[in-house]
Structure 1
Amino acid sequence: MHVFVTVGSTRFDNLVQRALSDAVLDVLRAKGYSKVVVQCGNSEFDSKAFKQSGDTWVRRDHGEVEVWRFKPSLQEDYEQADLVISHAGSGTILDVLRMRKPLIVIPNETLLDNHQQELASALEDLGHLRASTVSGLPETIQTLEPSDFVPFPQFNGSRFREMLDEEMGFAP
């Protein structure tokens, strides 16, 4: 099985370093995940244990672990993943939930406001994802039951038009 970790375009050193820690990699391997791909953005990580191949760093001591910074699209990585671990950015959350992938989000506490925590908590309360802290990530993975997630509603493109029509008085 395959895990994809992403921090998007932000810098989230703590999440990247925790995702690459023995504590997280060991619990992932114990849960049956053999490949971990980390999109680290501009985050710092200890690359000494990795071999660099082009724009990617790889190591194989905890299954296959791959790290890279940026790609034009994350769509293929989302599709290949059996589990996504992410910062709590709204774009990433919506993309992953629409694909009905199990999702763990970790709000970035270094951001100025608390919008990531608010979004993560609201969607966790609805059963769509699990929210965690950086330090609590191993336990969150350990207790994760993907079958417990409530499917996120599919996008309804006509809903905006309906709401606008209602607001403007055009709806019957």
Structure 2
Amino acid sequence: MANYRFIISGGGTGGHIYPAIAIANELKKRYPKADFLFVGAKDRMEMEKVPQAGYEIEGLWITGLQRKLTLKNLMFPIKLISSLIKAGNIVTRFKPDVVVGTGGFASGPLLKVASGRGIPCVLQEQNSYAGITNKLLKDKVAKICVAYDGMERFFPKDKIIKTGNPVREDLVTLNVTKEDAIAFYEMDNSKKTVLVLGGSLGARRVNALIEEKLGYFKKLGIQVLWQCGKGYIDEYKKYSSEDVKVYTFLNQMDKAYAAADFIISRSGAGAVSELCLVGKPTIFIPSPTVAEDHQTKNALALVKENAAIMIKEEDLDRDFEKEFGLVFNSEDKQKELAKNSKALALPNATIEICDEIEKLLN
């Protein structure tokens, strides 16, 4: 069996990191002797999460461009040149057979260098609106794996393959029972549970909403499993109680999803793909600060199919209790949202992406 070498680059948020790890895990199954190297951005969460998953990672000194004139922006050309040089050294030393980019700043310099040397590259675009790094690389790569229809607006049509987004393997099978999951979090099996997800970094407005609605949930007899994010744990851990479990980060998402009857979530691409697979009634609160407003576009793709509910941040005060109440009080509505979201799931994404990578090896 050939001893292939793969570089996988992507990061900044969980939405770029988890697909990268899922792809590596599948390739490792197929090629147990293969060598893997991840390349991320220094000081970002991939530098912690990738080694936890058992892979080696190197960091580039790179950040994104800010939208206003800042010192970081003035440093950008220096960081870019430094990253291109380091990416060149990594590619020379590691000699990859294929390079995979899952988005985020670090994948830009790495795929630019690799493609420039004739190494086959694959892009994985998670969102319904393409990210800037992937748009810049579109002409240099061999294949672009996407999760939504209509992506020829951004990419050459002949390179696009619709695969869906890779999700964590334990979610594809999701064989944890609700009872076991509730016991794991030391919650009450007789109560309904709402799971709150603000993305891997947390979400200020989502957290403020949950803080405000704790009394409302208590009145409905609902317990709360709340991932508030690293930046917010000190502010919200005081609410931990029998009915409210506050976590920085939920490492075992299969258990978190199994425990949930209702989900309140940001609508990053990874979250949307996972939640289709999980098939639970979901209210999306898109982040309004994300480039090109792609979280709203991701959520609308489900709303259009009557597979989720979306409330914009500015409408939360007015609409949250009304919208949540409609779902909470109607089993028919719960079943309909669950069924329609499951129908949109693409559970074989990781396998199909790796099939495309394999074709480039031969």
Q: Decide: shared fold, TM above 0.5.
A: yes
- Pick the aligned partner of 1:4 from 195, 200, 207: 195
* Residue matched to 1:16: 207
Corresponding position of 2:282: 103
Indicate if the aligned counterparts of 1:7 and 1:40 stay in contact, CA closer than 8 A: yes
Where relative contact order (Cα < 8 A, 6+ residues apart) is larger, the structure is 1
Q: Structure 1 residues 3, 155: CA separation in 2 closer, same or farther (over 3 Å shift)?
A: same
Q: Distance in 2 between matches of 1:104 and 1:4?
A: 10
Counterparts of 1:36 and 1:97, CA distance in 2: 21
- What is the deviation of 1:11? 3.3
The answer (yes or no) to whether the contact 2:302–2:341 under 8 Å persists in 1 is no
Matching of residue 91 in structure 1 with residue 280 in structure 2: no
- Structure 2 match to 1:169: none
Q: Which residue of 2 aligns with 1:53?
A: none
* Structure 2 counterpart of 1:152, from 315, 331, 342: 342
Displacement after TM superposition at 1:26 (Å): 3.7
User: Which has the larger helix fraction?
Assistant: 2
The structure-2 alpha-carbon separation of the partners of 1:17 and 1:127, relative to structure 1 and needing over 3 Å to count, comes to same
Distance in 1 separating the partners of 2:348 and 2:336: 27
Alpha-carbon distance change, 4 to 109 in structure 1, aligned in 2, over 3 angstroms: same
Secondary structure of 1:114's counterpart equals helix
2:202 and 2:230 in contact (8 A); partners too: yes
For 1:133 and 1:45, the matched residues in 2 are separated by 24
Task: Please tell me the residue identity of whatever aligns with 1:76.
Answer: K
- The alpha-carbon distance between structure 1 residues 14 and 45, as it changes in their structure 2 partners (threshold 3 A), is farther
CA contact (8 A) 1:107 1:117 kept: yes
CA RMSD of aligned residues (A): 2.7
> Any conservation in 1 of the 2:226–2:245 contact (CA below 8 Å)?
yes
Question: Does 2:247 align with 1:59?
Answer: no
Task: Identify which of 213, 230, 245 aligns with 1:42.
Answer: 230
Identity %: 21
Change (3 A) 1:27 1:111: same
Task: Please show how residues 93-172 of structure 1 align to structure 2 within 5 Å.
Answer: 93-134=272-313, 135=316, 136-144=319-327, 145-149=333-337, 150-153=340-343, 154-155=345-346, 157=348, 160=352
Change over 3 Å in CA distance of 1:94–1:48 after alignment to 2:
closer
CA contact (8 A) 1:28 1:141 kept: no
SS in 1 for 2:240: strand
1:97 and 1:103 in contact (8 A); partners too: no
Structure 1 residues without counterparts, runs of 5 or longer: 51-56, 165-172
Give 1:160 deviation, angstroms.
Answer: 4.9
Q: 1:112 to 1:156 in 2, by over 3 A?
A: closer
Contact 1:6 1:38 (8 Å CA) reproduced:
yes
SS at match of 1:11: coil
From 241, 257, 268, the counterpart of 1:78? 257
Residue 98 of structure 1 deviates from its aligned partner by: 0.8
CA–CA separation in structure 2 for the residues paired with 1:78 and 1:156: 16
Asked if structure 2 preserves the Cα contact closer than 8 Å seen for 1:31 and 1:142, the reply is no
SS at match of 1:127: coil
TM-score (norm 1): 0.74
Take 2:246 and 2:291, find their aligned partners in 1: how far apart are those partners? 27
Gap runs ≥5 in structure 2: 1-191, 328-332, 357-362
